[in-house]
Structure 1
Amino acid sequence: MTSKTSPKVLISGGGTGGHIYPAIAIADEIRKRLPNAEILFVGADSKMEMEKVPKAGYDIKGLPIAGFDRSNMKANFKFPFKVIKSISLAKKIYNEFKPDLAVGTGGYASGPMLWVAGNNNVPYLLQEQNSFPGVTNKILKNKAAAICTAYEGIEQFPIEKVHYTGNPIRTEIFQNLPSKEEAIKSFHLDATKPTILSVGGSQGSRAMNNAWLEDLDQLIASGVQLIWQTGKLDFPKIKELVGDKYPTIHITEFIYNMKDAYAASDCIVSRAGAMAISELSIIGKPTILLPLPSAAEDHQTKNAMALVEKNAAILVKDADAKEQLVKEVVALANDEELKIKLSNNIKAFGKPNATQEIVDILLNLL
């Protein structure tokens, strides 16, 4: 077996950023502690991990695995063949790399590889980002040596294996935040006014965008400012409709400097993806969540409800956004007591040391 200072670690997961970025964060922490460790990623061919992982400085192998399409059963004809081929390739990768440890961060890409690793008695750790586990992690749970979760009380996992660590997130997001006065300069807004940050994910949220457009005048009349990340698809339309008519609205397709955006805001409106919630919990700003209803197994609503039940966030349903979002935002912006309560309660979900704790558990498996 490889020495404890230079283990071979296999990391598998992907399909979405919510699976990829935690995997990269774990790899970075391993590399930081053990510079001689060998790390190999395994993902799904043609998915975003095949681009993002090499950019982060790691080797990756692709499998032809694809998810099961519940909305179009005919599209699943090739699914069994892809699984069989992926397992065969996973065996080849295993035999060539001979890992000492494995990590799965979810998504169907991790299924075949961790199944092969487990059958060869390689200890593996699962990292589950959501309050309701995905299909792959539920299948892999029995042979897992450890399971790290971002939420307490996930009944689908064996309690003796579970470690409540939180999700690994980018430390640069929350360390040394600038003051609101400094941060808001880049958005050309007024530091003395209540400022709302609207983030709908990398693709944007049409429901969120349409809700702002519906009641923009009411929002402006309330004295609230808006940093509005529209996403790529809606940006041209919104830029044309809104343009520079409103000096208290900053419109952008994508926010590259999230640190300044978080620091500039007093309240945040966001989708309820696991990684978004993990960041928001550490930032600790009063938050309104707008879960994406089409997310697999409606996990965004489940993520949001875990906070709502603890009075740590406000939930607005996607279908109700046009009628309710601006009203909820204006009410929250003017309710100092509620803002303090939401801020304090969401901070209780924050786990800034999640990555370090997960790697501690992983390396103990050696």
Structure 2
Amino acid sequence: MRLLLTGGGTGGHIYPGLTLLQYMKRTVGAVDVLYVGSERGLEREIVQRAGIPFVAIPAAGLKRELSISGLRTAWTAWRGFREAKRILKDFRPDVVVGTGGYVTLPVVFAAASRRIPSVVWEGNARPGLTNQLCARKAYGVAVCFEESVQWFRRANKVVVTGNPRASEVLDADPKTLRHARALYQLQDGKKLIVCFAGSRGAETVNDVFAQLIPRFSEKSDWQLLYVTGDKHFEHVRQMLPARLPENVRLVPFIHDMPALLPHAGLLVCRAGSSTLAEICALGLASIIIPSPYVTANHQEENARRLVERGAAMMIREAELTPDALWKAMHEVLETGRGDALRRAARTLATPNAVQSLCDLVLEAKAQNSRR
């Protein structure tokens, strides 16, 4: 099978496609793959690190208003479309799978122009404009939330699959779990708090944690693994004392999150779709701080689905203070609240998500073969 993957910008648009690919290699057999991304996102580094062929095309977010900036992005998208058509002609995929981000639009539209079926995967409760437009050209759309179906009324087919990352974290083998425990120096008998604010980190969350970290010296039975994001690591390190509390570890990025998360007693995080899927699959206690800097505030909508079902706590960034976060962490780790969150999270899990998405992709391929 020949599969072309596209999607980018953040890890939430990249990792689900890679999870799908690994599953298909195990279950379908030989898969020739090409990943098409942009130069500006994280996809080149992540995809090439996984040993997958990668090519970049021009991509930019479409704007709804008519302006000079809007014309520039439209021109960039047109250039990406032309380049994508050339790539599709050369690679000749059976199916294109787009997982969101600006680069998905020119690739899916180019696939439609060449009569190559595509599947669009949407991770958020409220989809962005890119995937709504792509859905009209796709064979099918896979979504993570029942609430998302209403946004794709003009799609040919919509299937609620869940997030492939939910399946991946459940399949982490014991060897990788042991490796993560050693790599991140996790200590027996301590309650592990893993904190990260998305692929790139977040300045406000980092500033709050910089104020909190000295307090961890008071909690010898807690352990913090704090992921700053690559571009914020030096800034955060400079705000902290030269000698960190013994139970605090600072790292810029985690490449093997599925191997780390099963060790966590508490996750403090953003509300990206993949992260929430991992929370539910593993039954993790979590404090979610939705990013307010995303389109249509979709992260808060994502988080609300868990909060309303008692499966997570939420602190909006505007209300985030060191005291508020410390109090919430204490509630989760030192009372019965954590166990209640874990039980509720498991009820929202979609453990067969990657299989469901794979089935839709194979269905699209079969339809193409019948032409």
- 2:143 match: 149
- 2:163 match: 167
Counterparts of 1:1-366 in structure 2 under 5 Å?
7-68=1-62, 74-154=68-148, 155-158=150-153, 161-169=157-165, 173-174=169-170, 175-176=172-173, 191-216=188-213, 220-221=217-218, 224-236=222-234, 238-239=236-237, 241-256=240-255, 258=257, 261-322=260-321, 323-336=323-336, 338-365=337-364, 366=366
The DSSP-based 3-state class of the residue aligned with 1:143 is coil
State the Cα distance separating 1:342 from its structure 2 match.
0.8
Gaps of 5+ in 2: 367-371
Instruction: Find the aligned partners of 1:291 and 1:23 in 2 and give their Cα distance.
Output: 23
Cα 1:120–1:237 change in 2 (3 A) is closer
State the Cα distance separating 1:260 from its structure 2 match.
6.0
8 Å contact kept, 2:8–2:102: yes
Instruction: Find the aligned partners of 1:97 and 1:260 in 2 and give their Cα distance.
Output: 33
293-302 or 163-172: bigger deviation: 163-172
Instruction: Find the aligned partners of 2:218 and 2:120 in 1 and give their Cα distance.
Output: 49
8 Å contact kept, 1:132–1:302: yes
Instruction: Find the aligned partners of 1:185 and 1:59 in 2 and give their Cα distance.
Output: 31
State the Cα distance separating 1:357 from its structure 2 match.
1.9
Instruction: Find the aligned partners of 1:104 and 1:251 in 2 and give their Cα distance.
Output: 33
Identity score, percent: 28
Query: Match for 1:157: what amino acid?
Result: F
Cα 1:133–1:213 change in 2 (3 A) is same
Normalised to the residue count of structure 1, the TM-score between the two structures is 0.84
256-265 or 273-282: bigger deviation: 256-265
191-200 or 309-318: bigger deviation: 191-200
The DSSP-based 3-state class of the residue aligned with 1:311 is coil
8 Å contact kept, 2:271–2:302: yes
Instruction: Find the aligned partners of 2:66 and 2:201 in 1 and give their Cα distance.
Output: 25
Instruction: Find the aligned partners of 1:211 and 1:190 in 2 and give their Cα distance.
Output: 24
Instruction: Find the aligned partners of 1:42 and 1:255 in 2 and give their Cα distance.
Output: 23
Query: Match for 1:334: what amino acid?
Result: E
Q: Deviations over 1:14-67 (max 9, x none)?
A: 222221222222223333334444333322245433343344333333322222
Instruction: Find the aligned partners of 2:333 and 2:69 in 1 and give their Cα distance.
Output: 47
State the Cα distance separating 1:131 from its structure 2 match.
1.2
Instruction: Find the aligned partners of 1:127 and 1:283 in 2 and give their Cα distance.
Output: 22
83-92 or 298-307: bigger deviation: 83-92
Instruction: Find the aligned partners of 1:44 and 1:218 in 2 and give their Cα distance.
Output: 41
Instruction: Find the aligned partners of 1:129 and 1:270 in 2 and give their Cα distance.
Output: 16
284-293 or 197-206: bigger deviation: 197-206
- 1:4 match: none
Cα 1:28–1:199 change in 2 (3 A) is same
Cα 1:247–1:292 change in 2 (3 A) is same
8 Å contact kept, 2:214–2:244: no
State the Cα distance separating 1:262 from its structure 2 match.
2.6
Instruction: Find the aligned partners of 2:178 and 2:28 in 1 and give their Cα distance.
Output: 40
Query: Match for 1:196: what amino acid?
Result: I
Gaps of 5+ in 1: 1-6
Cα 1:300–1:221 change in 2 (3 A) is same
State the Cα distance separating 1:268 from its structure 2 match.
1.4
8 Å contact kept, 2:98–2:121: yes
Cα 1:288–1:144 change in 2 (3 A) is same
196-205 or 180-189: bigger deviation: 180-189
8 Å contact kept, 1:196–1:225: yes
216-225 or 58-67: bigger deviation: 216-225
